[in-house]
């Protein structure tokens, strides 16, 4: 399987989990705690699920232990995730592009972006940790 295909599946798994967790965050946690605190509570859960999904896909899809392949997997997943986030904002959430960018650069949005960058780095991080073991 190609690294880009693995990245697509990685994105799909994490996006589905994030969709469910995002609903919980938006409907229940954010009204009670505020958007930033709710995002901080959600982040370790989604990153833990992302790490497990990443490791499982690396094994199952036999993504080569080369930095370039791992980078392509993570970059593909990241690009798809950002694209999906923008599409959801413009579509179902009925935001303008400016409003969507504002949401993505709010405190909660920047916390989420940091998590998305970590999510994208996990395939490469798994390689680095494997080489040190």
Q: What is the pLDDT along the chain (133 residues), one digit of tens a residue?
A: 799 999 999 999 999 999 999 999 999 999 999 999 999 999 999 999 999 999 999 999 999 999 999 999 999 999 999 999 999 999 998 999 999 999 999 999 999 999 999 999 999 999 999 988 7
H or E element, residue 116:
helix 107-132
How many angstroms separate the CA atoms of 91 and 100, rounded?
10
In this prediction the pTM is: 0.94
How many angstroms separate the CA atoms of 42 and 25, rounded?
7
How many angstroms separate the CA atoms of 12 and 54, rounded?
11
- 8 Å CB contact between 64 and 6: no
């Amino acid at each position: 399987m190609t690294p880009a295909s693995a990245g697509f599946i990685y994105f799909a798994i994490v996006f589905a989990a994030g969709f469910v967790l995002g609903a919980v965050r938006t409907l229940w946690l954010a009204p009670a705690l505020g958007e930033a605190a709710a995002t901080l509570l959600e982040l370790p859960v989604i990153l833990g699920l992302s790490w497990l999904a990443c490791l499982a896909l690396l094994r199952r899809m036999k993504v080569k232990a080369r930095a370039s392949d791992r980078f392509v997997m993570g970059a593909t997943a990241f690009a798809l995730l950002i694209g999906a986030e923008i599409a959801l904002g413009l579509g179902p959430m009925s935001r303008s592009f400016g409003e969507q960018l504002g949401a993505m650069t709010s405190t909660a949005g920047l916390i989420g972006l940091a998590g998305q960058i970590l999510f994208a780095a996990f395939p490469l991080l798994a390689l680095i940790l494997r080489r040190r073991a």
